[in-house]
Amino acid sequence: MNDFASKFKSFLLELIDKHIDVDVIRHPLSDGEIKIDSIEKDTIFSTIEEVFDEISEKVNNLSEKDGLFYLWRNLYDLIVQKLNRNAKRYLSQFPADAKDNYSIWEHLKIASAFQGASLSLFLFTLGPVQSFIAQARKTQDFFSGSFLLSYLTLVGIEKIAERYAPANIIYPDLYKQPLVDLLLEQKGLKIENSQSSYTDQATVPNRFVAILPECESEKIKKIADEVTKRIKEEWNEIIAKILKNFGLDKYVEKSKLIEKQIRSFPEIYWVAIPLKKEGKNISPSVFQDFIEEVKGLKEGDTGISYQLAYTALEKFVGARKNLREFEQSEEYNKKCHVCGEREGWIKAGVGRIEVGKYISEKERLCTVCFVKRALDKYLGDKFKYVSAFRDFNFPSTAEVASSDFKEEALKRAKEEFNGYVEEFKNVLGEKFYNLKVKPLPKLKELFEKGNIENIEGEWFFESNLTKKRIKEELGLELTNEEIENLKCKLKNIIQKTGTSSPYYALIKLDGDDMGKWLSGEKLQEFRDTTHAELDRKQNLLTPAIHSSISTALRNYTIELVRRIVEEEHTGKLVYSGGDDVLAFINLKDLFQVMEKLRAAFSGHVKFENGRIQVDWNNDTGFVEKEGEIILTMGKNAGASAGIVIAHYKEPLKIVLDRVNEMINKAKEMEGKDGFAIALMKSSGEMRVAVSKWRFDNLDVINLLSETAKYFKKEENGIWISNKVIYTLKEEFKNLINNNGRFMEDPQLFKVELKRVIQRSITGGKEEERRKIAEEISNRLFQLFEKDEAQNLTNFLNLIEVSIFVAGKEG
């Protein structure tokens, strides 16, 4: 057996042997816990022995480095596959020590990384993030900007992991990262439970933290330079291959312009701080000039050196980013239609570029923005055997908005749907390829079962079926007769399903106070995470606790977010890495996705019949998924979200700016853990509302979604007119102050709320209407009363948005 594997096995067995008799697994970041049923030690030991025997056969034919990668990635999965249900359930969270709350796996990772007499903590970041991603006219631009940052960061991570080991990367957790699995498979390694089929998702954040077994500044600088060089080389290769693919590499006169446009990206910053030098931990006194809290610590209190080093690391990298190099650049010709900064020299007719997927008739793009849009060309070539990048496209806003319509059409008007697609085939000929798009993941099976091709969502809105629009988007001239035939085929579908809503939602969720979690400040707030007799150091950000946070965030993005957004609901992820989520959602599923994303972040979910359900009673911080316990951030973690509901024709840049505005508004709430939502109507009106996710035990999203159902018009049923909102606004407009606060007795509002609702109910008998009015008014007043601000304008906007989402005004 490989010597390293042999030592690893002995260490693992020793850890389990010492602590297999513990009866409780405690959450590392909160006071949550789960009780352990009895586990047979002999079963686990014999399984581990068997797995290592199998591994030894496989790694003997591999290089030492490849063997290490194989062991790191597959060990846990190989063990779990052979364990019985009870042992499998707890293995991932089995504590490393009776007094420690982190698992044996975190302990093994940290023990592996902390080898050597000298160590440094290394933080590396790529940017710019917001401005680079937001430079987008199409969702494809938006996604590609995010994916490119994620991919280039991983290129840098790979350099560190190859030089040392994957365990040296403390953040993000690389285990089961789709792109990591793909890169390992390309080395020829067999990956158990591989996630490589999901490589089209950006799950690696734009920064990483590593432990380097170096302390000399020159050696660390050399490593950082090597990482930077590798990233720049990959970026240049992407550009060269994409330009060549479209015949743009022959434009020699543009070479200086291209070089000027690409050299400012990406912005790279790194900082390193010593943790240990020649076998001795760095003293806390080293940090006293820039961390106030250090001054009261004793010279020998070296147990907190990791937390102090990480805190200093974040301060230094922030300061370094503020010292940005400024390079004056003047480009005088027509500007790029996406970024508006660089010269837009790429257009249809240049090289082999035609009007279609990558450019519209009148667009002009700069080098960077064109490369972003055509990134799939490079990825499809580099990863030839990955289906995710084959015929890749990111769904447009129209595709997201129309997805529930398509779902209904495939169930109720399949023949008519196929007839419409075939009509487009007939009139477009070879250009039909530009119309084909992949459906949202949740609808993929429906299309495959029906053997039906999917076409871009914008063509399911009759207003787009014009000669002008088709010429602009597809570069074809159609006759009036061909246009009318297409309209007729579309109407055949609509007769059976109704029209498609032109609105979609963009949601951006971000963990609250992550800086405080990672600096150890939030850990200090929850002393009951450890036994009373334990030392204060247990509440600090130790390497194992930092690794646990990385694991919890990876579980959230890999195990829960993707399932919520793309498998259980009609949505598509732009990015899901670290504590951030960015996704497009069909309006039909918005409330469910919002609530599940927030609840899953703190582990307040459960799996029921294979689906994720919100469970606010689960305070353990652990979630059981497919027979295994996985770690989440725990009940003390909160998250804020910004949501925008917009018409698919609303310029994407405006929507992106608005969603950033909304999440900032949510972050301004005292105590945070809430959301801000904006409804941007096509008429130009906008409604904005903010709220906590919960007020005590009142689940706001659940209340809104259940209440909004009564506002949906049902034939021969009972429903409430949405005029309730306008009536209440008119009646109380003189009873609110400039901030929207209701200035009278809240009971007055409660009485009037019930009266207006009862008068607005259609259908049913008088007694039924009275009961519904009583029920709805009590629910809504409870929400109004719980909000200390008692902002009536905000409250009515919240109800109006809820009614809109329910479909009253689609």
DSSP letters of 431-462? GGGGTB-PPPGGGHHHHHHHT---B-GGGGSG
Same domain? 72 vs 54: yes
Tens-place pLDDT, residues 458-497: 999 999 999 898 888 887 888 999 999 999 999 999 999 9
Q: What is the CA radius of gyration of the chain?
A: 28
Same domain? 564 vs 710: no
Query: How many angstroms separate the Cα of 749 from the Cα of each of 698, 706, 761?
Result: 20, 21, 18
pLDDT for res 323? 60
Same domain? 136 vs 177: yes
Q: Annotate 164-195 with b (16+ C-beta within 10 A) or e (fewer).
A: bbbbbbbbbbbbbbbbbbbbbbeeebebeebb
Helix (H) and strand (E) counts in the chain:
29, 21
Q: Which of 322, 340, 365 is at the close of a domain?
A: 322
* pTM, entire model: 0.92
pLDDT for res 111? 87
pLDDT for res 532? 38
Tens-place pLDDT, residues 588-635: 999 999 999 999 999 999 999 999 999 999 999 999 999 999 999 999
- Is residue 81 one of the residues assigned to a domain? yes
- Mean per-residue pLDDT for 354-380? 90
pLDDT category of residue 4 using cuts at 50, 70 and 90: low
Tens-place pLDDT, residues 235-283: 999 999 999 999 998 776 678 888 888 888 899 999 999 988 887 887 7
pLDDT for res 660? 95
Same domain? 143 vs 35: no
pLDDT for res 300? 43
Same domain? 404 vs 532: yes
pLDDT for res 529? 42
Q: Which residues contact 751 (CB under 8 A, 6 or more apart)?
A: none
Report the range of poorest mean pLDDT among 73-82, 321-330, 471-480.
321-330
- Is residue 361 one of the residues assigned to a domain? no
Same domain? 705 vs 691: no
pLDDT for res 669? 92
The total number of residues written for the chain in this structure? 810
Tens-place pLDDT, residues 509-534: 999 998 888 767 777 554 444 433 33
Same domain? 704 vs 691: no
Q: Give me the percent of the chain exceeding a pLDDT of 90.
A: 50
Q: Which of 644, 673, 695 is at the close of a domain?
A: 695
Same domain? 34 vs 160: no
Total structural domains within the chain: 4
pLDDT for res 746? 85
Same domain? 440 vs 582: yes
- Is residue 376 one of the residues assigned to a domain? no
User: CA 359 to CA 346: how far, in whole Å?
Assistant: 9
Q: In this model, does residue 316 exceed pLDDT 90?
A: no
- Is residue 388 one of the residues assigned to a domain? no
Single-letter code of the amino acid located at 72: W
pLDDT for res 607? 96
Any idea which residue has 């505005």 for tokens?
661
- Mean per-residue pLDDT for 196-217? 92
pLDDT for res 58? 83
**Count of CB atoms situated within 10 Å of the CB of 204:** 27
Look at residues 561, 532, 533 and name the one whose alpha carbon lies nearest to residue 633: 561
pLDDT for res 475? 79
pLDDT for res 585? 97
Same domain? 521 vs 644: yes
Tens-place pLDDT, residues 750-798: 898 899 999 888 888 888 889 989 999 998 999 998 887 778 899 999 9
- Is residue 380 one of the residues assigned to a domain? no
Same domain? 54 vs 137: no
Q: What is the CATH number of the domain that holds 473?
A: 3.30.70.270
Any idea which residue has 């999203």 for tokens?
701
Report the range of poorest mean pLDDT among 75-89, 359-373, 379-393, 461-475.
379-393
Q: Which of 666, 695, 724 is at the close of a domain?
A: 695
Tens-place pLDDT, residues 632-659: 999 999 999 999 999 999 999 999 999 9
- Is residue 366 one of the residues assigned to a domain? no
DSSP letters of 64-114? HHHHHHHHHHHHHHHHHHHS-HHHHHHHTT-BSSTT--SBHHHHHHHHHHT
- Is residue 259 one of the residues assigned to a domain? no
Q: Is the peptide bond before 651 cis (omega within 30 degrees of 0)?
A: no
Q: What is the CATH number of the domain that holds 238?
A: 3.30.70.2220
User: CA 75 to CA 47: how far, in whole Å?
Assistant: 11
User: CA 145 to CA 141: how far, in whole Å?
Assistant: 6
Same domain? 518 vs 460: yes
pLDDT for res 531? 36
Phi, psi of 269, rounded to the nearest 5 degrees: -135, 140
- Mean per-residue pLDDT for 219-235? 96
Please provide the average confidence, as pLDDT, over all residues in the chain.
87
Answer with the residue of higher pLDDT: 618 or 301: 618
- Is residue 357 one of the residues assigned to a domain? no
Q: Tokens at residue 31, please?
A: 């006071």
Q: Give me the percent of the chain exceeding a pLDDT of 70.
A: 90
pLDDT for res 647? 96
User: What letter does residue 360 receive in the DSSP assignment?
Assistant: -
pLDDT category of residue 292 using cuts at 50, 70 and 90: low
- Mean per-residue pLDDT for 741-745? 84
Domain containing 799 equals: 700-810
User: CA 313 to CA 203: how far, in whole Å?
Assistant: 23
Q: What is the largest CA-CA distance in the chain?
A: 86
